[in-house]
Amino acid sequence: MCGIAGFIGGDAEVAGIIDRMASVIGHRGPDDKGTLTGPGFALGHRRLAIIDLAGGHQPMVNADRTLAIVFNGEIYNFRQLMAELK
């Protein structure tokens, strides 16, 4: 099962803090790791790859980087959803 971490608030040290938080939960996802920081927030993710071994890097952001998400779970109907979205 993947691991997620994050917090709201903080100062210039948020990148170091979220890196340490993600390291602590490294056993939850040894296959990939990612962090995203911005003014007053930090997101971290550790990935356990079961489906889509090559993709799935998180945190995920939209095209203009105004939204971001980290999540734990599988989207089991991803093929149907992808067909609908195309």
pLDDT in tens, 41-55: 899 999 888 776 677
**Are 41 and 21 spatial neighbours (Cβ–Cβ below 8 Å)?**
no
Measured between its terminal Cα atoms, the distance across the chain in Å is 29
Secondary structure percentages of the chain, helix, strand, coil, to 5: 25, 30, 45
Choose the catalytic residue: 1, 2, 36, 40: 2
What pLDDT was estimated at residue 12?
Answer: 66
**Are 70 and 4 spatial neighbours (Cβ–Cβ below 8 Å)?**
yes
13 is catalytic: no
Work out whether the CA dihedral 56, 78, 42, 30 comes out positive or negative. negative
Q: Which of 9-13, 46-50, 60-64, 80-84 has the lowest mean pLDDT?
A: 9-13
What pLDDT was estimated at residue 46?
Answer: 93
**Arithmetic mean of pLDDT, 23-28:** 91
What pLDDT was estimated at residue 52?
Answer: 67
What pLDDT was estimated at residue 72?
Answer: 79
pTM for this structure? 0.74
What pLDDT was estimated at residue 29?
Answer: 87
